[in-house]
Chain A
Amino acid sequence: MEYKLTYEGFYEALRKDKLVGLKCLECGAYTIPPKKVCSECAGEELEVVEFKGTGEVRTYTVVRVPPEGFDAPYVLGLVELAEGPWLLGRIVDVYPEQVSFDLIGQKVKAGHLVQEGDKFSAGERVVVAFRPE
């Protein structure tokens, strides 16, 4: 059974700052990033939809000890999207040294950045990067 929206499809849209995911035709729930079936009900009838790309930061951190291949410091956040799902992304256009607890609740808009591939990653990664609105 063919995969409806693969990571390549997700990345391709994200490169244009469009956040795409799936809407379940059975229960109405949204699944993002895409999976084979609906995250909520395992429904198999799904349509590809573009998300608003907006949401609110629920929690965050500033990474200071990075994995090989990354330059610290950088800010990460879990964002609750307008459509309901939570999404992990970078938070950009903020200064890591100035970020505080007040970042929680910040309204953000999704864009992207490209993280180059390493020998383990099966190619480059297109990463969700949220900017304060």
Chain B
Amino acid sequence: MREVAVVGVGMTSFGKSQKSNIEMFSEAAMDAIADAGLKSRDIQSLFLGNVLGGFEEGQIGMAAFAAADIGLPNIPATRVEGICASGALAVREAFIWVASGAYDIVMAGGTERALVMGTSYATRTFQMGSDSRYESGTGVTFPAVFAMAANLYAKKYGIPLVKLKEQMAMVAVKNHKHGVHNPKAQFRKEISVENVLSGMVVCDPLQLYDCCPFSDGAAAIILASADVAKKLAAKPVYIAGVGQASAGPLHNQKDITRFKAREISAKAAYDMAGLTPEDIDVCELHDCFTVAEIIAAEGLGFFEFGKGSEAVEKGETTYGGKITINPSGGLKAKGHPIGATGVAQVYEIVKQLRGEAGERQVEGAKVGMTDTLGGDACTIANIILRA
């Protein structure tokens, strides 16, 4: 396989938008194209993450319309859907098509406009990411899945629930603190542990601030072969490894304090890169819920199983700690437009590895990683990047 680099990145601000899915995508896409010093006609193929366009705007077939919007009505344009991991899957697809030699320059993008649906309808449509015949009918939601994971985590590792809830709250506090320095974040406001612990209960034991928001937003990146990249960007950021795995419905997974899909996917990415968790300087991981960040940090190998919540408390997951996790503010503060998230995570890592992250720069970051989880962990993908 050929070496592949990210040569351009773009994203919209996340939060509430009056723009359509395609309009948001096109803004991010043209920013990425300009960042690379290209014209849109240089893009040979598009992979677009989008999950709920049919329910948000009555729009399926999004990829073809998105490509046409940026002047590419005839290129192969493919919508990629893996629930909340859709954007990461689009990046991985684009990587494979360039690595294989089929194309030299490919765009991976993602867009989502969830806020237009309102909480009740959005919760129903997000719930479509659970097994529809055997699980959705119970009324299970993604907060419910991670609430069950939190209770199981406390039970399995013998951590009093009160203690775990404080440690989970510290994840939210940290990510909000990081998000303050991200001009594109949905929330740029510090919160306290007390704020988290006094919020409304969504699904016991998860409270409002344990949960990421519904969001609108888009992101796009351009991948090119190393040969092309050398002629283009001042600082190409290389894709060192990719991984993706599936795990089936929730009932298949049993102990949901460890996601098998993540462990398989991350190992594939580490093996391809010839790297280990100790080599990762900065990570954007899937903190859809506070407990999800703890579970992910363990599953990626940064901390021992059962020690992830303690690591947060000790400051190991922020600047100056063992590894800086979610400098962008993460899904919690930056926002989580589900089709775009995986692409936006790569955007942040590219900014970090280029040294362009401003006030949220992780000093000396050379290797970064993304982790994106779909549904109730039926799909997980990881990307490792190096400067």
Contact = CB atoms under 8 A, between A and B. Distances in A.
Interface of B: 119-121, 123-124, 126-128, 131-141, 143-144, 147-149, 151-152, 154-155, 161, 200-206, 248, 250-254, 256
A62 interface: yes
Interface residues of A, number: 42
Interface of A: 7, 10, 32-33, 39, 58-70, 72, 74, 76-78, 80, 85-90, 99, 101, 104, 115, 118, 120-122, 125-128
A79 B203 CA distance: 18
A125 B137 CA distance: 6
Contact of A127 (B137, B154, B253): B137
A124 B180 CA distance: 46
Contacts of B137: 115, 121, 125-127
B139 A90 contact: yes
A67 B140 CA distance: 8
Contacts of A60: 148, 151
A65 B124 contact: no
Contact of A121 (B136, B147, B202, B248): B136
19 contacts: A61-B203, A62-B201, A62-B204, A65-B203, A66-B141, A67-B126, A68-B123, A68-B124, A69-B124, A76-B144, A90-B138, A90-B139, A101-B151, A104-B151, A115-B137, A115-B138, A115-B139, A120-B124, A125-B136
A110 to B, nearest CB: 12
B134 A7 contact: yes
A70 B124 CA distance: 9
A27 B246 CA distance: 23
A65 B151 contact: no
B102 to A, nearest CB: 31
The 5 tightest CB contacts between A and B, nearest first, are A125-B137, A61-B147, A59-B152, A67-B124, A68-B124
B206 to A, nearest CB: 8
Contacts of B152: 58-59, 78, 104
Contact of B139 (A66, A86, A104): A66
Given A33-B134, A59-B155, A70-B139, 17 more contacts: A59-B148, A59-B151, A65-B141, A65-B202, A66-B120, A66-B141, A67-B124, A76-B139, A77-B148, A78-B256, A86-B254, A104-B151, A104-B152, A115-B138, A121-B132, A122-B132, A126-B137
B115 to A, nearest CB: 16
A104 B205 CA distance: 14
Nearest to A80: B254
A67 B203 contact: no
Given A76-B148, A88-B135, A88-B250, A63 B141 contact: yes
Nearest to A104: B155
A60 B256 CA distance: 12
Contacts of A59: 148-149, 151-152, 155, 256
A125 B49 CA distance: 30
Contacts of A69: 124
Contacts of B140: 63, 76, 88
B124 A64 contact: no
Contact of A63 (B121, B139, B200): B139
A80 B254 CA distance: 8
B203 A63 contact: yes
Contacts of A121: 132, 136-137
A121 B120 CA distance: 16
